[in-house]
Amino acid sequence: MIIPSKLNKGDTIGVIAPSGAIEDEDILKINESIKLLEDFGFNVVFSENAYENDLGYGTYARKRADDINEMFSRTDIKAILVATGGFASCTTFDYLDYKLIRENPKILCGFSDATSIENVISDKCGIVTYSGPTLKSMTSWDTDYAYEQFIKKFAFADSNLFEEDDECFTIIEGNAEGELIGGNLSLIAKMCAGKHKINFDNKILFLEELYYEAPPGLVYENLYYLKQNGVFDKIKGIWLGNYEGEIPIEKVLFDVFENDITIPVIKSNNFGHTDKKMIIPIGVNAKIDTNEKIKIKLTQKIVN
């Protein structure tokens, strides 16, 4: 896998909106986030169609893809940051220029809907991408965790996944090693079959979900769909993230496996739809050891 280069002060970050329209209510938080990045020393520019809303939920798939292709092609852009969450980033897949992207590796970061783009680019192009904060989410939560993660990981190349006070829990004991893959459960479930399916072989799968869009029954359905398509027979371990439903996500997982799980499962609440939004590199090797306090660690650099 190609690991992108870290950021330096003076670098330019390109912003795309592949997951839905930037709404008027988003502008305040987006501007606050831009100020944070500019105060650190970065430049921020938006893609041509980032504010387009031709369809009422964003712009056309080709325009979304054009923006991604353009940002990868521009030599002045050193990282690409997704503006907000939403829906429909997967509509870009047919129009992405994977050869161009592979030849111009750079940081691509976002969470929720953006993880579909990150996983397909990582899989097809052999480039490490990053599940992490969007531009809006750097200032739309109650802590500075997301912004601090962005600076630590991308400007200072900190390869520690966890902060000092982050907690990680063992659900099923064991050890595993493999490349990280995953993100939002609803999206990952759609990528285990079909034209743009991704390779789960020997991977550590990390998963999170937003409760009010995915109640326990839908989580059960998506996990079972992964099971039906053989994903759990291919992976080496599971890392569960934030899910704030009244039924814990690990309990739903046990229902899917009928309490027969032979791979290690760990859980933390510092990625996904939560104020603690760590950056997880998709395509970087990691190791699970449930005997350790920090139960998962990277075995490669997060950026070069």
For the record, the structure tokens of 86 come out as 């939403």
Residues in the chain, overall count: 304
Q: What type of residue sits at position 262? A: T
C-beta separation of 188 from 276 below 8 A: no
Dist CA 53 CA 44 (whole Å): 21
Per-residue pLDDT at 134 exceeds 80 = yes
C-beta separation of 210 from 237 below 8 A: no
- Work out the pLDDT band at 259, boundaries 50, 70, 90: confident
Per-residue pLDDT at 208 exceeds 90 = yes
pLDDT for residue 212: 82
First vs last Cα of the chain: how many Å apart?
A: 12
Secondary-structure class of domain 168-298 per CATH: alpha beta
- Work out the pLDDT band at 273, boundaries 50, 70, 90: confident
pLDDT for residue 100: 98
For the record, the structure tokens of 138 come out as 């750097």
- State how beta strands 296-298 and 285-289 pair: antiparallel
- Work out the pLDDT band at 243, boundaries 50, 70, 90: very high
pLDDT for residue 260: 83
For the record, the structure tokens of 256 come out as 């899917």
Per-residue pLDDT at 172 exceeds 80 = yes
Structural domain boundaries of the chain? Answer: 12-155, 168-298
DSSP assigned state of 154: I
Per-residue pLDDT at 142 exceeds 80 = no
Which single residue is written with the structure tokens 């079909």?
194
Rounded to an integer, the average pLDDT of 187-211 is: 95
Per-residue pLDDT of 49-74, as tens digits, reads 999 888 888 899 999 999 999 999 99
pLDDT for residue 23: 85
- Model confidence pTM above 0.75: yes
- The CATH H-level superfamily of 12-155 is Murein tetrapeptidase LD-carboxypeptidase, N-terminal domain (3.40.50.10740)
- Work out the pLDDT band at 97, boundaries 50, 70, 90: very high
- Work out the pLDDT band at 276, boundaries 50, 70, 90: confident
Higher pLDDT, 245 or 69: 69
Per-residue pLDDT at 298 exceeds 90 = yes
C-beta separation of 242 from 274 below 8 A: yes
- Work out the pLDDT band at 258, boundaries 50, 70, 90: confident
Per-residue pLDDT of 30-55, as tens digits, reads 999 999 999 999 999 999 999 988 88
Rounded to an integer, the average pLDDT of 7-31 is: 92
Per-residue pLDDT at 119 exceeds 90 = yes
Q: What type of residue sits at position 299? A: T
